[in-house]
Amino acid sequence: MHVPQFSLATQSVLALHAEGYTSGVVVDIGAGHAAVVPVLEGKLIPYALEPMLWTGEDLTRQLLLSLRKHGFSEHLHTHWDIANHIKETQCSVDPEPGDGHYTLPDQTEITLSPSQRSLPMTLLHGPNSIPKSFSRSVGKLGDELREELSRHLVLAGGTTDCPGFREHLLRALGGEVGQEGLTRAESGRLRSWVGGSVLASLSSFSRISVLRSEYLESGAGLINRRCRMEDGSDDFYGLYGFSGS
């Protein structure tokens, strides 16, 4: 594969770029990781990063196990993608009575129970909830920096697309976020991809990227030197508190 230019960036930084910011706080609920991530001028603030217990995959797995337990296993032959889509379209932090009907690809209609539909509430209540994690994260910052970064709160990851998720989180955080509050975009799932496009289009991109010719001449060490993170770490997964395996 011929790649003319290459750089590294975390999902959280890219999510901010997608919204036109370089500083803010990102609630990043990815498939295999979840964290509250403060970012200043395009750099993570490692000491204030707060990993969270529940990831997007954990919620999808819990929903899938519940659906199988209720007898839908024979209809879930492509189970993971289906369960993930059900989670993001039918599950809500504040489900409306009478909803929860979903038509599977084979045209079988299932009805989710109230507990299945309210699955995202797991992220918003308890000692490991997003609001608690947010408070712990920004509490590690100085007063001025906390006020500055809290003006821009961005959600990333498909799980944040669940109906009502954004509105409920903003209410739960209350006065901890600035007047601009929670950024509302069309899709948390695609935000990092959009941010990558934005980052690559900036005139400053050349300073944090490696040309193919430079790589061929200097080797992989050049990537480590030019694209490394704020704290000097090249271990993106380790910074989130997860294994890269």
Q: Tell me: the pLDDT tens digits for 110-126?
A: 888 888 888 888 888 88
Overall pTM > 0.75: yes
- pLDDT tens digits for 203-244? 888 888 888 888 888 888 887 777 764 334 444 444 444 433
DSSP label of 129:
S
Interacting residues of 47 by C-beta distance below 8 A, sequence separation 6+: 140
DSSP label of 121:
G
In the three-class reduction of DSSP (H, G, I as helix; E, B as strand; rest coil), residue 38 is classed as: strand
Interacting residues of 155 by C-beta distance below 8 A, sequence separation 6+: 15, 26, 27, 29, 165, 166, 169, 182, 183, 188, 191
- pLDDT tens digits for 37-62? 999 988 889 999 999 988 888 888 88
